[in-house]
Structure 1
């Protein structure tokens, strides 16, 4: 999703591929996959980010997601 990241592409790709394997293992349809991923994002924000930053990070995440969908080929 992000075009500039402090993380190596290999690390991101490895985690992404492992998450895809889990969703495929459970034969999760798109709507269930999105629900699970959305719940994961919510959980990360609530458990790992201060209350004063949660809304700003959620908005930044949403904006980045919308931008990646708009620019996808």
Structure 2
């Protein structure tokens, strides 16, 4: 994953492309590493955590 992020940064990929690549990486991780009956629950929790992090003003990551 670090290599992919480095490549995106090196080539100054647009934000939308970077998000598509990141989403694909997350999907692949869920599909390859999480039991089928837990995937949706984990994806929803991840999505909610992402949304919550955006609602917190001035929070640096």
How does the TM-score come out when normalised to structure 2? Answer: 0.82
Q: How does 1:1-73 map to 2 (within 5 A)?
A: 20-73=5-58
Aligned residues: 58
How does the TM-score come out when normalised to structure 1? Answer: 0.70
Relative contact order higher in (CA < 8 Å, ≥ 6 apart)? 1
Task: Detail structure 1 runs of 4+ shifted over 4 Å in the superposition.
Answer: none
Q: How much is the aligned-residue C-alpha RMSD, in angstroms?
A: 1.8
